[in-house]
Structure 1
Amino acid sequence: MKTGVVDFDALLARLDLGAKVRLLTGAGRWSLPPLPEIGLDRVVMSDGPIGVRGEQWRAVDPSIALPSPTALAATWDVDLVRRVGRLLAQEARRKGVHVLLAPTINLHRSPLGGRHFACFSEDAYLTGEIGAAYVEGVQEGGVAAAPKHFATGHATADVRVSEKALREVCLRPFERVVRAGAWGLMTACDSVNGTTMTEHAELVNGVLKGEWGFDGLVVSDWTAVRTTEAAALGGTDVAMPGPHGPWGERLEAAVREGRVPESVVDDRVRRILRLAHRVGALHDAEPPPVEEQPAAHGAEPRGGPAIDGVALAREVATRAFTLLANDGILPFQEVGTIALIGAAAAEARIMGGGSAQVFPGRIVSPLQGLGERAEVRYALGTDPRTRLSPLPGPATAAFLDADGAVLSEQPLATAEARWTGQWPPDVDGDRLAAVRLRTTYTPDVSGEHQLSVAGVGDFAVTVDGETVFDGSTGPDGDDPARAFLSPPERRISLPMAAGHAHEVVVTHPAGAFGSFTVGHANPGPGEDALMAEAVRVAAECDVVVVVAATTPEVESEGFDRADLRLPGRQDELVHAVAAANPRTVVVVNAGSPVELPWAEEVAAVLLTWFPGQEAGAALADVLFGDAEPGGRLPTTWPRRLRDAPVVDAMPVDGVIGYRAWERSGRAPAFWFGHGLGYTTWSYDSIAAEGMTVTVAVTNTGDRPGREVVQVYVDGALAGFDVVEAAPGESVLTTVFLPERALQVWQEGGWRTVEGVHTVEAGRHAADPRLSATVKI
């Protein structure tokens, strides 16, 4: 009977140097090469973090789209996040994925970070706890998690940081997920104190693998390995993507010539084999039994019962929605008509762009979700989007050879074509010459419509057989990632007739990757007329719900934000609508902080983050009181950007977030940890003894509720728990403080700060309700 124990050294002995070195570079964009001679399958990796894309970035194989990582952190619910991890493992297994390149556990340092939606929090402790639960859930399903981007995650920057700030701030979440048993970890593209992370032996070999005892796989961020010897000696185990790169024959030569010890290669191969064993990709032995896995938490091994992804996506969204302000209008009671206003009300922004993007099988918009519960009158009001939305599908992508013969056809959900470095499996890349997208669009209004092509390269566009565009678009700048994620757009104006089916065909020469979108916009009356219509509709309805959102041009991967303002004329829209009807609820559809200059003019402000595919259904649940908004802010929201104490990307003296706000003496719009529910709570008592804190709270309202009890030690978050209680019910929660809560990094090591420490419990960072002391 197999025990799950593998003799990795025996497997290594069966490989020559060439085979071992080949294993250290990707076989393609998303996988490591198989070695059938030792029973090793391909090891497949995939981006997350809100779904599992798989090897193909296309809609033919839909993925569950969960709320953004900022939303996951806003739940402050480790058990819920662990369930999310199990769902993602289920999705990964369905798509043949062994390693999920997630979660992103870099911290929110500046409110201007364009990719904050993909991270959890400004707080190292909260990030570590949510990240650990995510990792545990994924790995309970037999799939490896690879948290990223070790250690600071700043693209191509050279981050200069003190050892104290590095240890107490940047590295702390990574230490936590390693202690949770992560099987993988991704290094960043950036440098720390002058050394690129793929070559940073001090941090990767010394801290990660040595001090912390990490036995998993260290994979590079894509294209981050740029040297042979330095990266091989620096601790990186696998260079992605492949098959080309600075290793391969050059690394083999470096080993043969004695510049890189073969033991270094052996250690990396051993780590690959260990990971393959853990995820079931090594056939010489069974995967380890559940008791050998790092954190089972009672889950059935290798997946257990199937999880309903749609239901979980909806539940997570409601638990994450954060009620920032409410004059009592929510939850809705007797509501006749709802004025629903905003571009994002009809077309919700459910996820961030870049590596966080997946193609869900369905999207429930606020218009659809609320329309199923009440009489809704919709008005656009203003459209902040600077790009046209994709033509609705279905569409077909045909892959053509040089003679125009069709090699393969693929269905598309919308007129959005996207392949990254890997064409569909039945397409012969050597013969591929062009991609042709074909769709039919039947407008519901006549007039001058707008079509667009967003992409880089040559495009030929025909409508009903007539050429309407034949030309080239060039990239904006020299960043290839931005050219792919946010390419330039060319627009064409042409008449279309309502009810007539117009055939739209776009042909694009094939390159290393394919990425282009055919956009569309109906004829419009102009922004002023749209605004006036929204005000009129608002005045005529019982209540108003305005959905205000960021756009991919201001909040996405690949660039930071220039300011915190909502794009376009959305602030003006909210001011005007609130003046027409003070019973206005503003739903903020953004992944990270935005300025809310109208907050005191409206009846309620509800933050939905990027809420995932069940956005509209979850919104209806919360607005009508079927579910309580459970979110608490994982990041402080400034009133204005100029008020923020830290705007630069790196912490000053290791202080960011709410601790920096406290030192500055300024007050933000909403503190870290803030969030309202639909009931009220009293904080009754606190007792602290050693590392154990016990807090009693009572639901003093008239409906059941959930509360996030937050515990701070000397002003820093040190513990939390989510409790539930019926009206009038008291509950007791016990929080165990982590060792790091009473320690500082000093003179090359962790030192416990002796003396008296203040322990506080409250509803957010600036709202201590109870206080006690502990003496160490």
Structure 2
Amino acid sequence: MQIKDVISKLTLEEKASLCSGQGYWHTQPIADKKIPAILMCDGPVGLRKQNKMEDNLGLYDSVQTVCFPSTSTLANSFSRESLALVGQTLGSECQAQNVSMLLGPGMNIKRNPLGGRNFEYYSEDPYLTGELASSYVTALQGKGVAACTKHFAGNNQETYRMSGNSIIEERPLHEIYLAAFEKVVKQAHPRAIMCAYNALNGTFCSENKSLLTDILRDRWGFNGLVVTDWGAVKNRVKGLLAGVDLEMPGGSGAQDKNIIEAVRSGKLDEMILDKAVLNILTFVNQSINNQQRDATTNLDQDHQIAVKLAVNSAVLMKNNNNLLPLNRDKQLAFIGEFAEKPRYQGGGSSHVNSYHVDTALNWARSQHLNINYAQGYDQDKITPNSALIEEAVSLAKKSDVAIIFAGLPESFESEGADRQSMAMPENQDALIMAVTEAQPNTVVVLHTGSAVEMPWQNNVAAILNMGLAGEGVGSATGKLLFGENNPSGRLSETYPYHLEDSPSFLNFPGEEGTVHYRENIFVGYRYYDKKKLSVAFPFGSGLSYTNFTYSNLQTSSTTIKDTDQATISCLVKNEGNYTGQEVVQLYVEPGESAVLRPQRELKNFTKVLLQPGECKRVSFTLDKETFAYYNDQIHNWHVESNSYTLSIGPTSHNLPLSVNIQVTSTVPIPIHYTSFTAIGKVVKNPLGKKVVLETLREVLHVTSKQYQESSTSDQKKIDQQCEPILQSALTMPLSSLVSLGSMKSSDLSQLITNLNTKSSLKK
């Protein structure tokens, strides 16, 4: 297709028609111009392709396909390779189903534990989110299927999600909520981005030129398709002016008429419409060229991949006295309805019509294990059932180990509504407390898409968090419980003890649709670590059936510029008896800073497989991204000249190796000096320091000439006398030098002029 030639032959009406979809899942075709309809579908963790009745909420049936672990669960793998594997597999399934674009991945930050779609998002951390999403997008698009990253941006809750207003200051917006999108655009080059329903700082995302054009296209270099979330358009003409290309889903044609009228009346330049049509037809053309007509997929093989991904993403949160892995000869009690009917995926638009769902109970029976089962609770209810609990307690008493399958029912955690609390259903908490009183060897297997409170945490012997593990949940759980595989996941979000501990507690979900992100950059562990608050389970934490040690930290340099690269590495050794994977995490902590910064931040990670006794060197590259924060004076990322502590370890709270590196900035931060600028800021400038000290010496009746003619020892004495005066004056405005009678107003004005025109401050 010669796109520009095609556009030149389109009528205004045809151009307008291309800017919205045909129904729920296709782009608009124009047969006589040989423009076909292109199919897209939901499915960040499994295809939701609808053949008959269509909707965007997961209400109607879709084709049967494999359900992989939820995005939140895959993030616990801390494995770029795992995300690449699911991207490749979904790409093959899309090709077999003639799907050209997959809506996902969801990349919004988990700002609050109650976010209704937290199970669809990776993490509370933008670095982890960006790295994993980049691997997924690269792999998916490597199969010829377009990724559509979402929801851009500030869409961190379900309450008022279609009409709310997220108020986010510039620094946290870029440093926390846009950082992962920026990384994916620059590293993985997604072919599409979905703008969110909500308003951002007072302007709906579907009409936000600053977001969709100034930042996304002009600053980041995005050259793909901007598509709306389904039903996100408020004003279609404003959307085109802002940078929206494709409105989804298709409607009655009313928006087409609005576009046509705007062009004819002069309110919309037809060149802007042509630009949107160019982006749409470029996407259509790429999709045609990438289609594999003879593509097939093997759902049985894909199911085994789902099992593998679930195994690699499970987090062993607690394991007292090495109760796990379980001995196959023991008398075991499987308790809880999730053992028989597991919760393994989220609700809403990502809901998959699963190919084959494993259950832990069926897996155990297929292994001929000595297991008895008690339902324990009804997952469709909340109130404890005394008869079910008594049955479970009786079974637990007669067993060597009780394994309770618990978590959040789908009604607690679904698109369209935020959770009401961090608590699990009352009947499940009551069951766990009762069983642990009767059986100290109790294991809880968690099925949840986000953090929960665990009032029984200290009572149970072990906790295995499967997350929402996809349709292979049963086999994966069994393999982990009985040691066929070794848990290697790490928590991609903090588990606080209580909801009230969370940084956004007082500002979630906001008031009457407006939510202020007053916690600023302090989201998740950035807040808990800065406040030194104890948490139930920290970010990045997770156990293994083996033990790893860290040693021999090395760096290629301890003094670098922000334009340089360096390396840091260490040895990691498996000291235990099980083969295992260790997640090696790199955190960076700035020294005393001119701006408020987190205590530490994740800046790299890798997952390494080690046999018993095996030792490998793990290496990370250090660059500008490692040390930068977003500076809202220069409206860009900036590295502050400072000393930074680089620490490596298995979790954010266990970092056995560390080294200090001095980094020098090459980018000056401009300061505009006034008579109200604090003297402490002025003396950081060499010119300002010289004049201020000369002025303060005059308070001691020492002129500049007298000082210059003094001996070195006398100058030192004068400086010592000046020091307490200077310290007491640091927070005073520059104009105080005049009020002290030691500087003329004309001299102050000249100093301010010289500072603003002849010098700048390097941070």
TM-score after normalising by structure 1: 0.77
In the alignment, structure 1 residue 110 sits paired with structure 2 residue 118: no
Residue 259 of structure 1 deviates from its aligned partner by: 0.7
2:621 aligned partner, one-letter code = F
Q: Are the aligned partners of 1:54 and 1:92 in contact in 2 as well (CA < 8 Å)?
A: no
Name which of 622, 633, 646 aligns with 1:759.
646
Residue 316 (structure 2) aligns with: 323
The CA distance in 1 between the partners of 2:607 and 2:534, in whole Å, is 26
Residue 532 (structure 2) aligns with: 665
Residue 400 (structure 1) aligns with: none
Residue 16 (structure 1) aligns with: 11
SS, match of residue 149 in structure 1 = strand
In the alignment, structure 1 residue 742 sits paired with structure 2 residue 627: yes
Go from structure 1 to structure 2 and tell me whether the alpha carbon gap of 1:171 and 1:287 turns closer, same or farther (over 3 Å shift): same
The CA distance in 1 between the partners of 2:34 and 2:140, in whole Å, is 24
Name which of 523, 548, 572 aligns with 1:681.
548
The CA distance in 2 between the partners of 1:635 and 1:202, in whole Å, is 30
Q: Are the aligned partners of 2:17 and 2:253 in contact in 1 as well (CA < 8 Å)?
A: no
Gaps of 5+ in 1: 1-5, 281-285, 289-299, 388-523
2:174 aligned partner, one-letter code = R
The CA distance in 2 between the partners of 1:750 and 1:639, in whole Å, is 34
Q: Please give the per-residue CA displacement for 1:430-456, whole angstroms capped at 9, x wherever unaligned.
A: xxxxxxxxxxxxxxxxxxxxxxxxxxx
Go from structure 1 to structure 2 and tell me whether the alpha carbon gap of 1:673 and 1:304 turns closer, same or farther (over 3 Å shift): farther
Residue 258 of structure 1 deviates from its aligned partner by: 1.2
Q: Which has the higher helix share?
A: 2
Residue 194 (structure 2) aligns with: 186
| Structure 1 residues 583-594: aligned runs within 5 Å | 583-594=441-452
The CA distance in 2 between the partners of 1:102 and 1:725, in whole Å, is 33
Residue 15 of structure 1 deviates from its aligned partner by: 1.4
1:274 aligned partner, one-letter code = T
Name which of 587, 593, 605 aligns with 1:712.
587
In the alignment, structure 1 residue 230 sits paired with structure 2 residue 241: no
Whose Rg is larger? Answer: 2
In the alignment, structure 1 residue 93 sits paired with structure 2 residue 123: no
| Structure 1 residues 512-661: aligned runs within 5 Å | 527-647=385-505, 648-649=507-508, 650=517, 652-661=519-528
Q: Are the aligned partners of 1:341 and 1:547 in contact in 2 as well (CA < 8 Å)?
A: yes
Residue 694 (structure 1) aligns with: 569
In the alignment, structure 1 residue 171 sits paired with structure 2 residue 182: no
SS, match of residue 569 in structure 2 = strand
Residue 277 (structure 1) aligns with: 285
Residue 519 (structure 1) aligns with: none
Residue 450 (structure 1) aligns with: none
1:168 aligned partner, one-letter code = E
Name which of 241, 247, 261 aligns with 1:239.
247
The CA distance in 2 between the partners of 1:112 and 1:7, in whole Å, is 49
Q: Are the aligned partners of 2:346 and 2:468 in contact in 1 as well (CA < 8 Å)?
A: yes
The CA distance in 2 between the partners of 1:128 and 1:302, in whole Å, is 33
Q: Are the aligned partners of 2:503 and 2:519 in contact in 1 as well (CA < 8 Å)?
A: no
Q: Are the aligned partners of 2:486 and 2:578 in contact in 1 as well (CA < 8 Å)?
A: no
The CA distance in 2 between the partners of 1:64 and 1:322, in whole Å, is 22
Name which of 721, 724, 728 aligns with 2:613.
728
Residue 773 of structure 1 deviates from its aligned partner by: 2.0
The CA distance in 2 between the partners of 1:170 and 1:161, in whole Å, is 9
CA RMSD of aligned residues (A): 2.0
1:368 aligned partner, one-letter code = N
Name which of 259, 264, 270 aligns with 1:262.
270
The CA distance in 2 between the partners of 1:130 and 1:278, in whole Å, is 25
Name which of 298, 302, 313 aligns with 1:309.
302
The CA distance in 1 between the partners of 2:651 and 2:93, in whole Å, is 35
The CA distance in 1 between the partners of 2:228 and 2:146, in whole Å, is 15
Residue 502 (structure 1) aligns with: none
Q: Are the aligned partners of 1:142 and 1:303 in contact in 2 as well (CA < 8 Å)?
A: no
TM-score after normalising by structure 2: 0.78
Go from structure 1 to structure 2 and tell me whether the alpha carbon gap of 1:264 and 1:55 turns closer, same or farther (over 3 Å shift): farther
| Structure 1 residues 44-443: aligned runs within 5 Å | 44-56=39-51, 59=61, 61-154=63-156, 155=161, 156-179=163-186, 180-244=188-252, 247-280=255-288, 286-287=289-290, 308-327=301-320, 328-373=322-367, 374-386=369-381
SS, match of residue 33 in structure 1 = coil
Gaps of 5+ in 2: 52-57, 509-516, 558-564, 590-599, 664-763
Q: Please give the per-residue CA displacement for 1:482-512, whole angstroms capped at 9, x wherever unaligned.
A: xxxxxxxxxxxxxxxxxxxxxxxxxxxxxxx
The CA distance in 1 between the partners of 2:331 and 2:622, in whole Å, is 49
SS, match of residue 148 in structure 1 = strand
The CA distance in 2 between the partners of 1:351 and 1:595, in whole Å, is 20
The CA distance in 2 between the partners of 1:371 and 1:28, in whole Å, is 46
Q: Are the aligned partners of 2:573 and 2:613 in contact in 1 as well (CA < 8 Å)?
A: yes
Query: Which 10-residue stretch deviates more, 319-328 or 48-57?
Result: 48-57
Query: Which 10-residue stretch deviates more, 34-43 or 616-625?
Result: 34-43
2:553 aligned partner, one-letter code = I
The CA distance in 2 between the partners of 1:771 and 1:11, in whole Å, is 60
Q: Please give the per-residue CA displacement for 1:457-485, whole angstroms capped at 9, x wherever unaligned.
A: xxxxxxxxxxxxxxxxxxxxxxxxxxxxx
2:571 aligned partner, one-letter code = A
SS, match of residue 458 in structure 2 = helix
SS, match of residue 553 in structure 2 = strand
SS, match of residue 146 in structure 1 = strand
The CA distance in 1 between the partners of 2:531 and 2:574, in whole Å, is 34
Query: Which 10-residue stretch deviates more, 614-623 or 329-338?
Result: 329-338
The CA distance in 2 between the partners of 1:529 and 1:228, in whole Å, is 58
The CA distance in 2 between the partners of 1:263 and 1:190, in whole Å, is 28
1:62 aligned partner, one-letter code = Q
Q: Are the aligned partners of 2:314 and 2:488 in contact in 1 as well (CA < 8 Å)?
A: yes
Q: Please give the per-residue CA displacement for 1:165-197, whole angstroms capped at 9, x wherever unaligned.
A: 111011001101111110001000001110000
SS, match of residue 65 in structure 2 = coil
Residue 691 of structure 1 deviates from its aligned partner by: 3.6
In the alignment, structure 1 residue 25 sits paired with structure 2 residue 25: no
2:543 aligned partner, one-letter code = L
The CA distance in 2 between the partners of 1:189 and 1:272, in whole Å, is 21
Go from structure 1 to structure 2 and tell me whether the alpha carbon gap of 1:734 and 1:287 turns closer, same or farther (over 3 Å shift): same
Go from structure 1 to structure 2 and tell me whether the alpha carbon gap of 1:657 and 1:245 turns closer, same or farther (over 3 Å shift): farther
SS, match of residue 679 in structure 1 = coil
Q: Are the aligned partners of 1:386 and 1:553 in contact in 2 as well (CA < 8 Å)?
A: no
1:540 aligned partner, one-letter code = K
SS, match of residue 271 in structure 2 = helix
Q: Are the aligned partners of 1:698 and 1:730 in contact in 2 as well (CA < 8 Å)?
A: yes
Name which of 16, 24, 30 aligns with 1:35.
30
The CA distance in 1 between the partners of 2:392 and 2:477, in whole Å, is 21
Go from structure 1 to structure 2 and tell me whether the alpha carbon gap of 1:246 and 1:716 turns closer, same or farther (over 3 Å shift): farther
Query: Which 10-residue stretch deviates more, 728-737 or 703-712?
Result: 728-737
2:614 aligned partner, one-letter code = E
Q: Which has the higher strand share?
A: 1
The CA distance in 2 between the partners of 1:199 and 1:679, in whole Å, is 53
1:623 aligned partner, one-letter code = L
Q: Are the aligned partners of 2:228 and 2:244 in contact in 1 as well (CA < 8 Å)?
A: yes
The CA distance in 2 between the partners of 1:302 and 1:94, in whole Å, is 8
The CA distance in 2 between the partners of 1:101 and 1:749, in whole Å, is 29
Go from structure 1 to structure 2 and tell me whether the alpha carbon gap of 1:60 and 1:48 turns closer, same or farther (over 3 Å shift): closer
Q: Are the aligned partners of 2:84 and 2:140 in contact in 1 as well (CA < 8 Å)?
A: yes
Q: Which has the higher contact order (CA 8 A, sep 6+)?
A: 1
